[in-house]
Amino acid sequence: MKNFSYDDFELREIQKLEGHTGKVLGIAWKEDSGVWGILAVFASWSDDKTIRIWEENFSGFFVCKAVLEASCTVRSCDWSREFNLVAAACSDATTAIWKNVGVHAYEHVYTLKGHENEVRSVSWNKDGQFLATCGGDKSIWIWEVLPGNEYDCTKVLQGHTEDVKIVHWDEKILFSGSIDNTIKVWEEERFVNGDWRCIQTLDESDREHTSAVLSLSLSKERRKMVSCSDDLTIKIWKNCEEDSSIELWSHACTLSGYHDTTIFTVDWLRDKLRHTDYDDPDPEIFASAGADDAIRVFIEDKDNEILENLLYSLYSFVLRAYYVVDNVNPLVDQFQHTFKTSTISNRLYSFFNIRIFQSSFELHTPEPSSY
């Protein structure tokens, strides 16, 4: 690959975190941790009705520093970058909000109610002024943060025809993925405060997903998006630049044959694996995890770009990254957030117990297709 000289790449487990008494369903990084000398922090959640806050120590290992008690199974969490808040999507149709009020101290400050079915995903916008929630009632709620730990629902977005599995905020654009096989792109009306519109639907008419969309993630430069689905494919989308006033996306390539069962989650590696010049950037890397117990890492293949189509190759994999126990069906909804990449180091995380993998180098040759 152009200007890319890794001889080897592999993932090896360096730490296993224990403490949850049920299945671990996902993790969320505290966005501004792990930089400028600040120790890395992330939250994990489980069907044991708890959220655990893990902090990196000076030896590079993680220790649980706080346990937040929820009233039911937690489906998703997200950190507010500005206000030290943690939002949790709960199976009882509520969203719980905690605030970091001191060293390793968290206070439950609010519970959002309104959804008619379980809340599946939560996402804060960049400045922490708005929170998006989605759920099994096919709707997306936009909440505004008010003074005094108060919240107001400014808009309920309707458009998906089935359960909404994930919401993801990027700048002023909101993305949603659903069991109706579509990804929708939402934008607030520029001249009508508080009103929103769907500016694009990525559906099966243009080589999009043919089954439930379970996860999506934007690249570091926000010009590419990766999504995964129950249709066993991973799709890469690129941002169209023809009309700068509207952010539209088009299909770039599809990766298939890399997972044998449902692919639950994907995420981009946002940190560099090596220091490079601005004019000589590394290829972008993302990872996927599925019900086949595998983590797979993909790398942008810049040498084989054809007619501006993006191609990605399998770069490394872990075949047994986590283990199905107690006769649990790996296809159930709880496994949606099995994996996340670290935004501050070359580590990958997967579950049942939290397993931490460190990247070293051993190149693997891809087998299935990219189109």
User: Residues 50-70: what's their mean pLDDT?
Assistant: 94
Residue 232 · residue 259 · CB < 8 Å? yes
In the chain, CATH 2.130.10.10 covers: 22-164+176-188, 203-364+367-371
Cα 62 to Cα 14, 56, 198: the distances in Å are 11, 4, 41
Question: What is the identity of the amino acid at 23?
Answer: K
**Alpha-carbon radius of gyration of the chain:** 20
pLDDT digits (tens, 9 = 90+) for 322-359: 543 332 223 333 333 344 444 434 455 555 556 666 65
Relative to beta strand 369-370, strand 248-256 is antiparallel
pLDDT digits (tens, 9 = 90+) for 233-249: 999 998 886 555 667 89
Structure pTM?
0.83
> Dihedral (C-alpha) 316, 319, 324, 325: value to the nearest 10 degrees?
-120
Residue for token digits 């079915």? 117
Residue for token digits 């005094």? 148
Fold exhibited by the domain 203-364+367-371? Methylamine Dehydrogenase; Chain H (2.130.10)
Greatest CA separation for the chain = 55
pLDDT digits (tens, 9 = 90+) for 273-318: 555 555 556 678 888 998 888 888 888 876 655 445 557 777 666 6
Which residue did the predictor score with more confidence, 85 or 368? 85
Distance between CA atoms of residues 222 and 7, nearest Å: 28
> Domain spanning 22-164+176-188: which superfamily?
YVTN repeat-like/Quinoprotein amine dehydrogenase (2.130.10.10)
Q: Report pLDDT for 124.
A: 96
Q: Is 46 helix (H, G, I), strand (E, B) or coil?
A: strand
- 127 CB neighbour count, 10 Å cutoff: 13
Residue for token digits 């039911």? 72
User: Residues 210-221: what's their mean pLDDT?
Assistant: 91
Q: What are the φ/ψ torsions at residue 337 (nearest 5 degrees)?
A: -110, 55
Cβ neighbours of residue 197 under 8 Å, at least 6 residues apart? 186, 187, 189
